[in-house]
């Protein structure tokens, strides 16, 4: 899978570790920055880069980091075709894909550390959408809202 990855300054401390993990799991990382720590950068810019990568088919999924994961998910969900959520538990990180076709996992590096992020990213990338019955019907309704 091609996995886009981006972080503002709040998420930056976790970024390198997550890039390494994604690669070690056999996926291709599309690194959309930040490429260095910049306290003045803004999470909506990185959400936009991630959303565009999903929209243009440059990435199948994405991991988007900010301080809490909240701003990242709010901004990313403004973009058509993006289904993003903060998931700081493994059940949601997998079930969000299986039931809801979540394609962007948002994490807050001020909330979780590397070990928990590792579990969450593995759960997210290891899950597949159950494209049938009630799950497909609900996704179609979500797309209808969009
Ligand atoms: C940046 O300081 C911080 O506000 C941002 O990373 C994020 O936590 C917003 O939700």
Of the residues 9, 27, 35, 66, which is catalytic? 66
Rounded distance, CA 146 to CA 143, Å?
5
As for ligand 1, residues whose beta carbon falls within 6 Å of it are 8, 10, 43, 66-68, 70-71
| Farthest-apart Cα atoms in the chain, separation | 46
Burial profile 26-52: b = 16 or more Cβ within 10 angstroms, e = fewer: ebebbebbbeeeeeebebbebbbbbbb
Q: What is the pLDDT of residue 97?
A: 99
Q: Is the peptide bond preceding residue 34 cis, with omega within 30 degrees of 0?
A: yes
Ligand 1 atom nearest residue 108's Cα: 8
Rounded distance, CA 98 to CA 9, Å?
30
Q: Give just the sign of the alpha carbon dihedral 88, 92, 98, 99.
A: negative
6 DSSP β-pair partners = 64
Q: What is the pLDDT of residue 110?
A: 98
Q: How far is the CA of 122 from the centre of ligand 1 (A)?
A: 24
Query: pLDDT digit string (tens) for 75-98?
Result: 999 999 999 999 999 999 999 999
State the pTM of this model.
Answer: 0.98
Angle of helix 90-100 relative to helix 133-145, nearest 10 degrees?
80
Query: pLDDT digit string (tens) for 2-58?
Result: 999 999 999 999 999 999 999 999 999 999 999 999 999 999 999 999 999 999 999
Pocket test for ligand 1, best of 72, 73, 84, 112 (most atoms within 8 A of CB): 72
């Amino acid at each position: 899978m091609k996995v886009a990855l981006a972080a503002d300054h709040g998420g930056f401390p976790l970024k390198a570790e997550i890039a390494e993990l994604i690669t070690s799991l056999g996926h291709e990382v599309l690194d959309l920055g930040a490429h260095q720590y910049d306290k003045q950068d803004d999470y909506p810019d990185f959400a936009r880069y991630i959303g565009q990568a999903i929209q243009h088919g440059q990435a199948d999924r994405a991991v988007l980091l900010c301080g809490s994961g909240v701003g990242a998910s709010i901004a990313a969900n403004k973009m058509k075709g993006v289904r993003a959520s903060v998931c700081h538990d493994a059940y949601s990180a997998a079930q969000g894909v299986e039931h809801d076709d979540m394609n962007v996992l948002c994490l807050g590096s001020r909330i979780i550390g590397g070990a928990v992020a590792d579990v969450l990213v593995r759960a997210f990338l290891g899950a597949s959408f159950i494209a049938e019955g009630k799950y497909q019907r609900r996704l179609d309704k979500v797309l209808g809202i969009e």
